[in-house]
């Protein structure tokens, strides 16, 4: 019986490597999932390249997980060995007011798998059974793992007050990386009929058009976006980017800015411009599971029910043994990378 496994771990700023870890055993209410694919997120890049360590050295990274049910812990039923699933990578207390309301992502004790708990750049991971969502066997693992960024997109639109029942007159997405393109895909699936996106690279612009984005903008500065008059601006860049001035310049009076990007330092805002528009700033963290409105459940539904082809988002598949190369590819947009999927 195998007792060890491979894992892609954070070593120090700018460095990840393959390591050996014990094969985890599920406890009460937990399930061991054999990973079949784990997407490499822009947040993973931010975390690895941050000069100030955010992840503890030796931590197993990766939170965009698809896999197969491998072992059930005590008190788990309703799942069968070999079932394909995706993982909602949140660990919460379950008892606080936000948790009881289904707002798991603002639990004060929130921890993320792949950040504070072992993640999916590994042969296996153990997670609570309630964090698993079934997917069809016909859905390729790398596509199934897109459920996580799609859930981020669903949540970012919902918390700003927009969905398939109330689309904005115009949506502007800042950034055409994986999250920005996921927002575009969700918005088109929901029937939004005026979507613009900023794209720095030709392959990003091409994918945006394939997803049905109506306007692809090459915006070098905030001045280029003045007059766009978007009812909703979704910021997806984060890092050290100076995108909030651009968001304010593009915003229509009374509009909202939904911030999905993970910033690594203080932001610069133009209070006069935001004041004059009575702008609403809405931060969006991960996903929620309010009754009847689980963001992850909607993401899985969109991926499995839509006739749209999202395979173009999957630009690279890299073996887990080459985890360092996966990060190199994802960090160099000259490779044409959008979504790099790590395959055990």
Residue 34, SS3 per DSSP: strand
**Tokens 């606080």 map to which residue?**
96
Q: Could you read off the pLDDT of 8-53 as tens digits, one per residue?
A: 999 999 999 999 999 999 999 999 999 999 999 999 998 998 888 8
Q: Could you read off the pLDDT of 181-201 as tens digits, one per residue?
A: 999 999 999 999 999 999 999
Q: Could you read off the pLDDT of 203-245 as tens digits, one per residue?
A: 999 999 999 999 999 877 788 899 899 999 999 999 888 899 9
Q: In the prediction, which pLDDT does 211 show?
A: 96
Residue 74, SS3 per DSSP: coil
Lookup: tokens for 31? 């399930």
Which residues does 32 contact at the CB level (< 8 Å), separation at least 6?
A: 23, 24, 25, 26, 69, 70, 71, 72, 73, 124, 125, 126
- What are the chain's domains? 4-146+310-343 (3.90.180.10), 150-283 (3.40.50.720)
Closest among 69, 62, 68, 71 to 89, alpha carbons compared: 62
Q: Could you read off the pLDDT of 312-328 as tens digits, one per residue?
A: 999 999 999 999 999 99
């Amino acid at each position: 019986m195998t007792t060890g496994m491979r894992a892609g771990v954070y070593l120090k700023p700018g460095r990840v490597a393959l390591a050996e870890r014990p094969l985890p055993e599920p406890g009460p209410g937990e399930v061991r999932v054999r990973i079949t694919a784990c997407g490499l997120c822009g947040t993973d890049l931010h975390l690895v390249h941050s000069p100030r360590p955010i992840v503890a050295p030796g931590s197993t990274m990766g939170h965009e997980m698809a896999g197969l049910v491998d072992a059930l812990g005590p008190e788990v039923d309703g799942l069968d060995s070999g079932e394909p699933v995706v993982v909602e990578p949140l660990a919460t207390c379950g008892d606080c007011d936000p948790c009881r309301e289904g707002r798991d992502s603002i639990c004060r004790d929130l921890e993320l798998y792949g950040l504070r708990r072992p993640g999916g750049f590994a042969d296996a991971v153990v997670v609570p059974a309630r964090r698993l969502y079934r997917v069809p066997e016909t859905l390729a693992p790398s596509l199934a793992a897109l459920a996580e960024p799609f859930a981020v997109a669903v949540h970012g639109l919902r918390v700003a007050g927009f969905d398939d029942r109330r689309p904005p007159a115009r949506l502007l997405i800042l950034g055409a990386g994986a999250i920005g393109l996921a927002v575009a895909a969700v918005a088109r699936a929901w029937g939004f009929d005026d979507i613009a996106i900023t794209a720095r690279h030709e392959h990003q612009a091409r994918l945006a058009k394939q997803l049905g984005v109506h306007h692809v903008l090459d915006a070098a500065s905030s001045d280029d976006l003045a007059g766009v008059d978007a009812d909703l601006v979704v910021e997806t860049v984060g890092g050290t980017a100076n995108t909030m001035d651009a968001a304010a310049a593009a915003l229509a009076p009374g509009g909202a800015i939904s911030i999905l990007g993970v910033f690594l330092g203080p932001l610069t805002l133009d209070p006069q411009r935001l004041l004059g528009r009575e702008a609403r700033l809405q931060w969006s963290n991960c996903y929620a599971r309010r009754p009847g409105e689980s963001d992850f459940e909607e993401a899985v539904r969109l991926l499995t029910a839509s006739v749209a082809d999202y395979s173009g988002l999957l630009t690279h598949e890299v073996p887990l043994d080459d985890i360092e190369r996966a990060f190199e590819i994802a960090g160099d947009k000259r490779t044409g990378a959008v979504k790099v999927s790590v395959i055990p």
